[in-house]
Amino acid sequence: MKINMTWQGAMKFSATADNNAVTLDAKSPIGQGSAMTPKELVATGLGGCTAMDVAALFKKHKQNPSTFTVDVDLDVSKGTYPTVFTKAMITFSATGEVSKDVFVDAVTASQTKYCGVSAMLCKAFPIHYQVILNNEKIAEGQSHFGD
């Protein structure tokens, strides 16, 4: 994997990989806050990786949720520099005709076997998750890979 970072001026950069681009910026007053920060992109990578795992497993098991969302909530260190993530909570929510067992198994598989981003980041801080189906919490756990 290779990423090219091109400076756009001030604190704004364009990152390109395989002809796909994303813009980064810093928050004001150093930047203009016109794009996600690098830490926000790491959080997006965490959410995106596990969301894609679960979506692929939904497809494999012929599940068709009406809605499916993944929220990533990260705690950040305070009073230290540099600030780092200290803990994450990932909330997987779906509505519709989805098997409870398939949903829980898909999230568990993602957070213990498939999600490479979770596998890397859980070495640095704990990642907890909860699974909500039709507005009811049906499972919770913590990411672990080969422990």
Name the residue ranges covered by the structural domains of the chain. Answer: 1-35, 38-142
Burial 82-99 (b: 16+ CB within 10 A, else e): eeebeebebbbbbeeebe
Gyration radius from the chain CA atoms:
17
Residue 119 main-chain phi, psi, to 5 deg: -60, -40
Which residue type sits at 98?
Answer: V
Burial 109-119 (b: 16+ CB within 10 A, else e): ebbbebbebbb
Phi-psi region of 30 (alpha: psi -120 to 50; beta: other; left: phi over 0): alpha
**How many helices, marked H, and strands, marked E, lie in the chain?**
3, 7
- pLDDT tens column, 31-64: 999 999 999 999 999 999 999 999 999 999 999 9
DSSP code of residue 26: P
What's this model's pTM, rounded to 2 decimal places? 0.94
**Half-sphere exposure of residue 109: CA atoms within 13 angstroms, side-chain side:** 14
- pLDDT tens column, 111-133: 999 999 999 999 999 999 999 99
CATH match of 38-142 with 3.30.300.20: yes
CB neighbour list of residue 40: distance below 8 Å, 6 or more residues apart: none
- pLDDT tens column, 73-85: 999 999 999 999 9
